[in-house]
Chain A
Amino acid sequence: MARYFIRRALSLIPTLFIIITLSFFLIRLAPGGPFARERDVPEAILQNLLKRYHMDEPLFKQYLRYMGDVIRWDFGPSYRYRDLTVNEIIDRGLPVSMALGVTSLLLAVVGGVSVGIISALKQNRWQDYVAVAIAVIGISVPLFVMGPVLQLVFGMKLKILPIGQWISTHGLKAIILPALTLSFPYFAYIARLSRASILEVLRSDYIRTARAKGLKESVVVWKHVLKGALLPVVTYLGPAFSGIVVGSVVVESVFLVPGIGRPFVQSALNRDYTLIMAEVVVYSVILIIANLVVDLVYGLLDPRISYK
C-alpha cells in the first residue's frame, strides 16, 4: 500500500511537467502581452522591459529558463505587481484560500451528509421535501447571487456578520459568510448524493439481514448503512475540493477575501504570465493531492479495494 502511494506521488512529476509545458505555450498564444496598453508604450521602453524580463529571447530558451526556475520553486517576478514576486503573492494568498476552502468543504460534507441521512430516513415526508427543496436551490443558485443575498440579509439588514474582508480585520466571524456561500452548492450536491445512496443501501439484502438479526434501527443505520453509502460521497470529494478552491475566485471577489483567487483572475486578464503559471501549478498540485487522498480514504473504507 505504501509503495502504491509513493508511486502515485511520483507520477505527480510528469503530470505537472505536461501541465506546465502546455500552459506556458498556450498562454503565449493568446493575443496581447503583459506590457500591452491602450496607449502603446514607446518602442525603446518596451525593448528595455522585454530585455529586463528576458522576453526578447527565443521562446524555447525562455521555456528552459522558466523550467529551471520552477524546479527551484521560484516563479519569478510578477509582471504587473512590480513590487512583489509571484512567490510572495502565493505565500500571502494561499493560506487564506486554503482556510476558506477547507472550512467550506467541511461545512459541505458535514451538512450535506447529515441532511442526506435525515431525508433518506424520512423519505417522502416533510423533512425530506424541505431537504430536497434546499438542495435544488443550492444547486441552481449561482455563487455570485448567493453571496450578495447573504451579505444583504446578514450584513446590511441584521448587521450580525461582516459584509466582506478577512479574519485580520474582523476576526473569525469574517469566514462565516464566504464559507457558507462557497459551500452551498457542494452541500446541496452532497445532500442529494448521500440521500440517493443511503436509500439504495437501505433497500439492499444485507440491510434486510441486519434487521432480521434483531439489530436496532440506529445500529443498522450507523454500523451497516453508512460505510457503504458514503463511498460515492468520498469519490466526489476530490473534484469537489478542487471545485471549491477554484470556485473561491468568485467568492473571494464578492467578499473581498485576500486569497489567491482574485490575483488569478486579474493575472489572466493582464497576461501576467508568471502569475498565471504559478496559479496553474498550485491548483494542479491541490487537485492531484486531493485525488490521491480520496483514493487513500477509499481503500480504507472498502475492504474489497487493495492497493498493490
Chain B
Amino acid sequence: MTDEVILQVRDLKTYFKVDEGIVKAVDGVSFDLHRGETLGIVGESGSGKSVTNLSIINMIPSPPGRIAGGQVLFHGKDLLTMPADEIRKIRGNKISMIFQDPMTSLNPFLRISTQMIETIQLHQGLDKQAAKEKAIEMLRLAGIPAPETRIDQYPHQFSGGMRQRVMIAMGLSCNPEILIADEPTSALDVTIQAQILELMKDLTHRLGTAVIMITHSLGVVAGMCDTICVMYAGRIVERGPTAEIFEDPKHPYTRGLIRSVPRLDQEHTERLYSIPGQPPNVIDLPDCCPFYPRCDKAMDICKKKYPAQAQFENGHSASCWLYAKEATNV
C-alpha cells in the first residue's frame, strides 16, 4: 500500500425507481483507494455494498437504476461521465470484478479458454496463441492443476472452488490496478473460503493490485483488509484501519456487528448476540439516522437529522450523534 490514491469515490448516489418510490440504495458514499490497498466494505444484505461497486464501473442496470450524483475518479478521470467505449477499455482491464456465485458467473456454453482469451485479446492486443499461453499461466498461478488441459473444458466440469479460481485468474489476467471482489467466498464452503482468500491475498499482493472486498463477513475483512468501511442503509457509517475498527469500534452498529460474531472463548450457555430489529426500508427514507430504531443509545436528535462525520485518530471516523462534539461540520 502506498500513498498514491488511484480511486476516489465522491458523494456517490445511486437510486432505483420502483413503484413504491425511490430506493436510495447508495446515498452519499465517499472513500479513497490507494495503490495496493485492500479495502473492505462490510454491511448486511441490502446495505448498498454491491450497488456501490457496480456504480464504480458504471454498470448499474438502467432503468430502474440511476446514478443520481457524485463522482468516481480513477486517476483523476470521472468514470461516471466517461463515454461507453472508453469505460469498456477500463472494465476487465484496469478495474476488474469477480462475483459472488462462481456457479453462475461463468458462461456455461463457452469453454474456459474462450472466456479467458477474449478478455486478454480485447485488452492486451495479443494474438490468440499468446493470449492462450497467458491464460494458462494465470490459471496455473490461481492453483488450477493441469491448466493446459483444463482450459479447454467447460465450466460444468469444474467445482465451485475451482470456478472461483478461474474467475480470479480471469479477473487478474490483464494486471488490473483494482480488483473488485463482490462476496467472492460467500457461496463456498468454509475450507474452500480460506483457500480462495489466501489465493487472492497472495496474488494481489504479488501483482500490486488494490482490492475492494465486499462482504458481510467480519472474519473475511479482518484477515484481508487494510481499511474497513461499514455500510448501513446506503451510507458509510464508520471507517478506519482494520485494527482500530476491531479494537475500538465507535458506531453502535459496528459494535453490534462485532458483538454478533461467535467467539471461541464464549460460554456455550450464553446466547449469541444479535442486533434487534430489521434493516430499514430504504424507500423514501427521511433525513434521520437510519439505525436509530435498532440502536440502544438512540436519542431524540437521531430521529430528526442524519449525524455528521466525527473524526478520530488515524483516519478513523464515524457518523453518529454520540460524537457530536468531535464532528467537524455539524
B138 proximal to A (CB < 8 A): no
CB distance from B84 to the nearest CB of A (A): 8
Q: Are B119 and A213 in contact (CB under 8 A)?
A: yes
Q: Does B123 contact A (CB under 8 A)?
A: yes
Structural contact, B156 and A213, CB atoms closer than 8 A: no
Interface centre among A208, A214, A228 (most CB of B within 10 A): A214
Return the contact of A214 from the options B99, B119, B154, B156 (Cβ within 8 A): B119
CB distance from A77 to the nearest CB of B (A): 53
Name the segment of B35-43, B86-94, B245-253 touching the other chain: B86-94
User: Whole-angstrom distance between the alpha carbons of A301 and B108 in the complex?
Assistant: 11
Q: How far is the CB of A196 from chain B (nearest CB, A)?
A: 18
Nearest CB in chain A to that of B114: its residue: A223
Which residues of chain A (198-216) have a CB below 8 Å from chain B?
204-206, 208-216
A215-B109 contact, Cβ under 8 Å, with A208-B59, A304-B154? no
Interface: A224 (CB within 8 A): yes
Cβ-defined contact, B89 with A208, below 8 A: no
> A228 to B119, alpha carbons, bound, how many Å?
20
With an 8 A cutoff between CB atoms, is A14 at the interface? no
Question: Is there contact, CB below 8 Å, between A212 and B92?
Answer: yes
A213 cross-chain contacts in B, Cβ below 8 A? 91-92, 96, 118-119, 122, 170
A302 and B123 in contact, given A212-B57, A213-B118 (Cβ under 8 angstroms): no
Which residues B83-122 have CB closer than 8 A to chain A? 85, 88-93, 96-97, 99, 101, 104-111, 118-119, 122
Min CB distance A46 to B, Å, is 65
Interface residues in B113-166 (C-beta closer than 8 Å to A): 118-119, 122-123, 154, 156
- List A contacts of B59 (CB < 8 A): 208, 211-212
Q: Does A303 contact B (CB under 8 A)?
A: yes
The reply to whether the CB of A227 lies closer than 8 angstroms to some CB of chain B is yes
- CA separation between A210 and B119, bound complex, in Å? 9
Please name the residue on chain A nearest to B57 by beta carbon: A212
Count contacts on B: residues with CB < 8 A to the other chain.
Answer: 29
B108 touches A228 (CB 8 A): yes
Q: Which residues of chain A have C-beta atoms less than 8 A from B122's C-beta? A: 213-215
- Given A211-B59, A213-B119, the answer on whether A228 and B109 have CB atoms closer than 8 Å is yes
- Which chain B positions have C-beta within 8 A of A215? 88, 92, 118-119, 122
Instruction: Evaluate contact between B101 and A205: CB separation under 8 angstroms.
Output: yes
Supposing A209-B99, A304-B154, A304-B156 touch, asked if A214 and B90 sit within 8 A by C-beta, the answer is yes
Shortest Cβ distance from B170 into A: residue: A213
Asked if A303 and B107 make an inter-chain contact with CB atoms under 8 angstroms apart, the answer reads: no
| A214-B88, A216-B88, A304-B156 known; A209-B123 Cβ under 8 A | no
Pairwise interchain contact A206-B106, C-beta atoms closer than 8 A: yes
A205, B154: Cα distance in complex, Å: 16
Contact of A212 among B97, B118, B123, B154 (CB under 8 A): B97
Among B57, B85, B97, B109, find the residue whose CB has the most chain A CB atoms closer than 10 A. B109
Please name all residues of chain A whose beta carbon is closer than 8 Å to the beta carbon of B101 when the two chains form the complex. Answer: 205
Besides the known contacts A209-B106, A214-B88, A227-B109, 9 further A-B residue pairs in the complex with CB atoms under 8 A apart: A208-B59, A209-B167, A210-B107, A213-B96, A214-B90, A215-B118, A216-B85, A216-B88, A303-B111
Closest 3 CB pairs of A and B: A213-B92, A214-B91, A214-B92
Can you report 8 residue pairs joining A to B where beta carbons are below 8 Å apart?
A205-B104, A206-B104, A209-B99, A211-B59, A213-B122, A216-B85, A216-B88, A303-B111
